[in-house]
Amino acid sequence: MIRAATTPHPRLGVVKLASCDGCQLTLLNLEDELLAIAERLDIVEFPEATSHRSNGPYDVVLVEGSVSTPEQLEQIHEVRREAKLLVTIGACATAGGIQALRNFADHDAFRAAVYAHPEYIESLATAQPVADYVKVDAELRGCPINAAQLVELVTALLTGRRPNLPDEAVCAACKRAGRVCVMVAQGIPCLGPVTMTGCGALCPGYSRGCYGCFGPREQANVSSLSRQFISLGRSPQEAGRLFAGFTGYAEPYRDAIVELGGLPGASLAGERAHRAMGAGVNAEGKS
Amino acid sequence: MTNVTKSAIGFLPRAGFQHLIELLAEDGRTVIGPTVADGAIVYGEIHHVADLPQGIGAEQAPGHYRLVHHADERFFAYAVGPTSWKRFVFPPTLALGESRRDDHGHVSFGPAPREIPRLAFLGVRACELAALGIEDRVFLGGPYTDEDYRARRANTLIVAVQCAEPAATCFCTSMGTGPGIRSGHDIALIELDEGFIVTAGTPAGSAIVTRLDLAEATAEQLTAGADQLAAARDRIGDPVVTAGLHDRLLAKLESPRWAQIAERCLACTNCTAACPTCFCTSVSQRSDLDGHTATTERRWDSCFTKGFAAVALGGNFRPRVQDRYRQWLTHKFATWIDQFGTSGCVGCGRCITWCPVGIDVREELNVIAPPPQVSAGPAEAAQPHAPRSSVFRVEGVRRETHDTVTLALSTPDGIDWSTARGEFVMVSLPAVGAVPISISRRLPRGLELTIRAVGPTTTVLTGLERGAEVGLSAPLGHGWPVAAAQEHDVVIVGGGMGLAPLRPIVDEILAARSRYGDVHIYYGARTPSDVLYTEELAAWAARDDLEVGVTVDRADATWLGRVGVVTHLFDRARWDGTKALAFVCGPERMIQATVNALAGRGLTPDRIFISMERHMECGVGLCGHCQVGPFFVCKDGPVFSLAQLGDVFGREGI
Ligand code: SF4
Ligand code: FES
């Protein structure tokens, strides 16, 4: 009546693109639940946990990482073909991640500044979220994702109900937790009002402003918030940089960064590359 | 002077204050009071006077709060901070119940384990006493009550402290709530440099106060207390003219200012979280991996969140931030009066200080609705009780369309709801969710629900088989006034799923057909395969005492009937609307068009009844989701006459 007990277990895959593996580790760190999940799902691919590789088909595939190289671009199309449900996990997959900050700058100049032999580096001009290339069925935000949200998503998938992933500001969780607003009480800029909840308002609990790891919520009023940052004493460019974190490439953070004068790093990368090449010193000579 | 009178006045030297804290603790209470944390004076556990913010105050302005140090040694020389007492009587998250569903579809529901702490609130301000009074009306004053709130409230002793240091954001004077303490306290204190003037407001307060080592309050001390209060009142002034505010504000629902505020408003919910009276909540389920056991959890929500007024299939009644700000401000200062007899605002100023971008309600009110005129609102009282709820079993499943089924349900408990009034029930399934569904037929020992799979919960519900169980609340809301249609002609107009709640009207009329005049039933569906109750419609149409018209928006090869909007079905009808009552249900746009067509045929607003669709969570007027102007659609509706709705009907973003 609910589910026939004899149905074969759904096949779950975890696929990694350009990322740090932190989100996969969140899955591995689910000590209490992982065994129970493994009993109900066939985990057919999970790079951090097993060298076993399968190429689908998957009932559910969790994709970590952004699309940053030509191979990854091919891979994500293939994964999409093989997957019934494709769920992106983490800031890289959902917003491009920290590596997407390079999208604000000249990609060749960056490459030349960072690598000894830039000619060996094959990468796309931009690092993009997965949804820019293929259809995504659900997403889990965060850098890294939140363990409780991951369990909630898997539980909902298994029981066929709506995952309880509210779209509200970090502020809502912050106030339920009884935290004092760091912006109002200490003048610390905080992305909480425009950022999606999910982390449990961790940073404000340590007298830090929110860095926006979970990315913009719907209808995020970034222009009002950046005006407030400026009235708290930040320059427009400083205000813009506050949006340039793990999800800085996501709309509308991206627009705020550009409108407020762009990233200083963008011109910096160009300059360093220039110097490196002009002085005949290869990039390895720099720390 | 320690005699037990209702308001024993004495003087407690500062050195004796620790004794008061100890007496409260000896009374078995955890003392909650002001303490410094994270750059603010918050409410936390107090064990010792050293925990209090002695010599510390706060500077407040829109979007701004900073601790400051005072020269004196006072404990309470500050105005209200970020915490409000509501979090202790109305917790931010609360487990409501636990439910189970086994592999055979059997369901059971039980309460969540609960421990109600015994508390003493120390340092409650006048505006906060007023706020608790308002919450009492919201949670305990209506037909349905919040028993968790009642228990927490009853287990709390209140030690109030009169304000001497109002903040620049305070406006209790305008709202008539402070700064002087009048009622609602067990013990009241007036802090002077050298100690406290002590008053007891209740026997429970007296019992504590009489054990204190009190001196007699001197005339100078009493004068100093009164002077300090007068000075505080003068400092606050009267920033908001409240005379006539209700009407002035509601006259400005289309002010251009709403859009301007939305350019600043972050819809972050800080104002509603900081507000000591905002009570909106949402409910969700947390289940185990198998979906066998689930905990239903309630959490603070806010009318500022995007999903708050959202309904199935992507609908949202307040899609824009300006709609939500308008909802919040007009509710707080106007429609709250219609609902509960008082303003929802106590003038504590928290929403001003804790708005990250410093939106100031005082300024907005004065811009949107400049003073003055006169108005007042009535109060109400009712029998407190909680909604009944029982396990019902699916006795039959009839597929209506590809995504819609009708479930026939009966209760093993033998409860007979066939005569219960009420228009809809909350249907809950452990680990899945709860949804409001209108009753589509009353059976002798049960009822029928016609459900369309539009979301995850309804998808599961439409897949239930005979023998499965669900949880059902008792019928809720106000239904169609069918009896009022006796001796009249009746026009029933349904669109799409809207035919389901109209079906019991036809049942009721047919059960006593001779008592009604001519009866016309008009029904429009999107396509022939979306038509509900096909056999029944045919049976009705075959009778000569009913006129039945059915139309579809888009026909297919099999369709021989009418095509077009439902109002075309009676464009050229010959009946006289001035003798009829109309019952209309369907999508909002279809209702609008129908109402216009009916008005054109002579039906006055008091004789046109519509059923409103809104986001519902609790179904009993406690969660705030379904509000439309002064109404809770769940308990005041969902059926309303157009006359009742007035200009709320058809307004965008309300
Ligand atoms: S009025 Fe201020 S606190 Fe309230 S939702 Fe808007 S920005 Fe947030
Ligand atoms: S108030 Fe909760 S649904 Fe109406």
Distance B386 CA to ligand 2 centre (A): 14
**What number does the ligand 1 atom closest to the CA of A224 have?**
7
State whether the beta carbon of B622 lies less than 6 angstroms from ligand 2. yes
**Angle at Cα B91 formed by Cα B107 and Cα B183, nearest 5°?**
130
Q: Which of B502, B386, B350 is nearest to B440 (CA)?
A: B502
Predicted confidence band at A277 (pLDDT cuts at 50, 70, 90)?
A: very low
Q: A184 to chain B, minimum CA–CA distance in Å?
A: 5
Residue closest via CA to ligand 1's atom 4 equals: B271
> Rounded to an integer, what distance in angstroms lies between the CA atom of residue B409 and that of residue B445?
8
Final residue belonging to a domain, choices A159, A186, A207: A159
Residue B77 distance to chain A (closest CA, Å): 18
Please give the residue of chain B at the shortest CA–CA distance from A150: B289
Residues on chain B touching A168 (C-beta within 8 angstroms) = 269, 301-302, 305-306
Instruction: Give the residue carrying structure tokens 């389901």.
Output: B500
- Average pLDDT score over chain B: 91
**Ligand 2 contact, B593 CB (< 6 A):** no
Break chain B into its structural domains and give their ranges: 10-236, 245-368, 390-472, 482-611
In contact, B297 and B96? CB cutoff 8 Å: yes
Which of the two residues, B166 and A273, has the higher pLDDT score? B166
Most confidently predicted of B143-147, B151-155, B422-426, B585-589: B151-155
The torsion region of residue A57 among left (phi > 0), alpha (psi -120 to 50) and beta comes to beta
Pocket of ligand 1 contains residue B267 by CB under 6 Å = yes
pLDDT tens for B355-374 read: 999 999 999 999 999 875 43
Asked whether residue A269 is assigned to any structural domain, the reply reads no
Q: Is the pLDDT at B408 greater than 70, yes or no?
A: yes
Please give the residue range of the domain that contains residue A149.
11-159
Taking CA atoms only, the protein residue closest to ligand 2 atom 1 is B621
Determine the residue of B260, B322, B357, B361 to mutate for testing ligand 1's pocket, defined as the one with the most ligand atoms within 8 A of the Cβ atom. B357
Assess whether the C-beta atom of B269 lies below 6 angstroms from ligand 1. Answer: yes
Q: Examine the pLDDT at B479 and tell me if it is beyond 90.
A: no
Whether the pLDDT of residue B446 is over 90: the answer is: no
C-alpha–C-alpha distance, residues B501 and B610, integer Å:
11
Q: Report whether residue B344 contacts ligand 2, using a CB cutoff of 6 Å.
A: no
Whether residues A224 and B357 touch (CB distance < 8 A) is answered with yes
Pick the range with the lowest mean pLDDT from B30-39, B394-403, B549-558, B571-580. B571-580
The CA distance from B170 to the nearest CA of chain A, in Å, is 17
Inter-chain residue contact A224 with B269, CB threshold 8 Å: no
Mean pLDDT of B630-636: 91
Nearest chain A residue (CA) to B466: A1
What is the whole-number distance in angstroms between the Cα of residue B265 and the centre of ligand 1? Answer: 5
pLDDT at B416: 64
Rg (CA), chain A: 21
Q: Out of B65, B264, B468, whose CB is closest to A185?
A: B65
The whole-number average pLDDT for the span B490-503 is 95
**Tokens at B383, concatenated:** 């029998």
Nearest ligand for residue B627 CA? 2
Q: Which residue has the higher pLDDT, B287 or B8?
A: B287
Count of C-beta atoms within a 10 Å radius of residue B241? 16
Neighbours of B170 (CB within 10 A): 29
Last residue of a domain, one of A159, A183, A199: A159
Rounded mean pLDDT of B14-41?
97
Domain count, chain A: 2
DSSP-assigned beta bridge partners for residue B426: B436
| pLDDT tens-digit series, residues B157-176 | 999 999 999 999 999 999 99
Cβ(B126)–Cβ(B173) below 8 Å: no
B357 touches ligand 1 (CB under 6 Å)? yes
Query: Cα–Cα distance between B292 and B296 in angstroms, integer?
Result: 13
Q: Which letter does DSSP use for residue A18 in this model?
A: B
What backbone phi and psi angles, to 5 degrees, belong to B645? Answer: -75, -30
Interchain CB contact of A34 with B (< 8 Å): no
Residues 139-168 of A with CB under 8 A from B: 152, 154-156, 158-162, 164, 166-168
- Nearest chain B Cα to A226, which residue? B357
Which of these ranges, A246-250, B186-190, B414-418, has the smallest mean pLDDT? B414-418
Contacts of B207 (CB under 8 A, 6+ apart): none
pLDDT of A104 reads 84
pLDDT for B8 beyond 60 = no
> Which atom from ligand 2 is nearest to the alpha carbon of B626?
4
| Whole-angstrom distance, CA of residue A23 vs CA of residue A16 | 10
Nearest to B34 by CA among B240, B189, B178: B189
The residues, ordered by sequence, that sit 6+ positions from A43 with a Cβ below 8 Å of its Cβ are A12, A13, A14, A37, A49, A50
What string of H, E and C letters represents the secondary structure of A259-273? HCCCCHHHHHHHHHH
Does residue A127 sit in the same domain as residue A105?
Answer: yes
Distance B223 CA to ligand 2 centre (A): 49
Percent of chain B scoring above 70 in pLDDT: 95
pLDDT tens for A95-113 read: 999 888 888 877 777 777 7
Quote the tokens at residue B128.
Answer: 């906060």
DSSP letter assigned to residue B15: G
Q: Is A96 found in the same domain as A33?
A: yes
Cβ–ligand 2 contact at B623 (below 6 Å):
yes
Give the distance from residue A115's alpha carbon to the nearest chain B alpha carbon, in angstroms. 42
Inform me whether the pLDDT recorded for A284 exceeds 60. Answer: no
Residue of B301, B473, B626 with the most ligand 2 atoms within 8 Å of its CB, for mutation = B626
Mutation target among A12, A159, A203 for the B interface, most CBs of B within 10 A: A159
Ligand in nearest proximity to the CA of B272? 1
Is 60 exceeded by the pLDDT of residue B235? yes
State whether A154 and A23 are in the same domain. Answer: yes
A280 has pLDDT over 60: no
Residue A6 in any domain: the answer is no
pLDDT for the residue A279: 38
A51-60 residues labelled b (16+ CB within 10 A) or e (exposed)? eeeeebebbb
Q: By mean pLDDT, which of A209-223, B1-15, B287-301, B461-475 is the weakest?
A: B1-15
Q: Are B186 and B153 in contact (CB under 8 A)?
A: no
In chain B, which residues have their Cβ closer than 8 Å to the Cβ of A217?
Answer: 306
Higher-confidence residue: B3 or B535? B535
Same domain, A53 and A28: yes
Taking a C-beta distance cutoff of 8 angstroms, is the pair B404, B464 a contact?
A: no
The pLDDT, as a whole number, for residue A269 is: 44
What DSSP assignment string belongs to A100-166?
GGGGGS-HHHHHHHH-S-GGG----SS-B-GGGTS--SEEE-BTTB-HHHHHHHHHHHHHTS-----
CB contact under 8 A, B291 and A160: yes
CB atoms B270 and A33 under 8 Å: no
Of A46-55, B335-344, B496-505, which gets the smallest average pLDDT?
A46-55
- Is the pLDDT assigned to residue B2 strictly greater than 50? no
Q: Token pair for residue B125?
A: 């301000």
Answer yes or no: do A5 and B103 touch at CB < 8 A.
yes
What 8-state DSSP symbol labels residue A27?
A: H
Find, in chain A, the residue whose alpha carbon is nearest to that of B275: A175
DSSP A195: B
Closest chain A C-alpha to B236 CA, distance in angstroms: 22
- pLDDT value, residue B7: 56
- CB of B268 sitting under 6 A from ligand 1: yes
- Say what the pTM is: 0.84
Nearest in space to B434 (alpha carbons), one of B9, B99, B56, B112: B99
pLDDT of amino acid B414: 63
pLDDT bracket for residue A154 (50, 70, 90): confident
Q: Is B346 exposed, middle or buried (0-12, 13-18, 19+ CB in 10 A)?
A: buried
Give residue B129's pLDDT. Answer: 98
Asked if A37 lies within 8 A of B289 by C-beta distance, the reply is: yes
Same domain, yes or no: A58 and A151: yes
> Minimal Cα–Cα distance from A208 to chain B, Å?
11
**Pocket flag, ligand 2, residue B621 (CB < 6 Å):** yes
Nearest-5° Cα angle at B403, B398 to B408: 25
Predicted confidence at residue B11, as pLDDT, reads: 96
Residue A3 has pLDDT above 80, yes or no: no
Kind and range of the H or E run holding B425:
strand B424-429
Q: What is the band of B420 on the pLDDT scale with cuts at 50, 70, 90?
A: low
Q: How confident is the model over B573-580, as a mean pLDDT? A: 88
Residues A24, A102, single domain; the answer is yes
- Looking at the structure, tell me whether residues A31 and A124 fall in a common domain: yes
* Residue A16 shares a structural domain with residue A155: yes
pLDDT in tens, B62-77: 999 999 999 899 999 9
How much is the pLDDT for A273?
42
Closest CA to B640 of B598, B606, B599: B606
Distance from the alpha carbon of residue B652 to the mean position of ligand 1, in angstroms: 21
Buried-exposed string A70-96: b where 16+ CB fall within 10 A, e elsewhere: eebbebbeebbebbeebbbbbbbbbbb
* Cα separation, A100 vs A95, whole angstroms: 8
- Cα A26 to middle of ligand 2, angstroms: 37
For the beta sheet containing B562-563, the strands, ordered from the edge strand earlier in sequence to the opposite edge, are B562-563, B547-552, B519-525, B489-495, B580-585, B608-611, B639-641
Mean pLDDT over B322-335 rounds to: 97
User: Do residues A58 and A153 both lie within one domain?
Assistant: yes
Residue of chain B with shortest Cα separation from A218: B306
Q: Which residues of B touch A175 (CB under 8 A)?
A: 92, 269-270, 273-274, 300
- Least reliable range by pLDDT among A149-153, A272-276, B57-61, B132-136: A272-276
Mean pLDDT (whole number) for B513-537:
93
- Determine the CATH number of domain B390-472: 2.40.30.10
Mean pLDDT of B219-225: 93
**Are A146 and A39 in the same domain?**
yes
Same domain, A16 and A153: yes
Beta strands in A154-275 (DSSP E): none
pLDDT of residue B385: 47
Of all residues in chain B, what percent carry a pLDDT higher than 90?
Answer: 75
Written as six digits, the tokens of B378 are: 């009535």
Pick one of 3.40.630.30, 3.30.70.1060, 3.40.50.720, 3.40.50.80 as the CATH number of B482-611: 3.40.50.80
> Does the Cβ of B331 fall within 6 Å of ligand 2?
no
Q: What does the DSSP 8-state code read for residue B316?
A: B
pLDDT value at position A287?
30
Cβ-based contacts of B281 with chain A (< 8 Å): none
Give residue B21's pLDDT.
98
Specify whether the CB–CB gap between A181 and A204 falls below 8 A.
Answer: yes
Q: What pLDDT score was predicted for residue B369?
A: 92
Ligand with smallest separation from the Cα of B632? 2
SS3 state of residue A243 = coil
Are A20 and A136 found together in one domain? yes
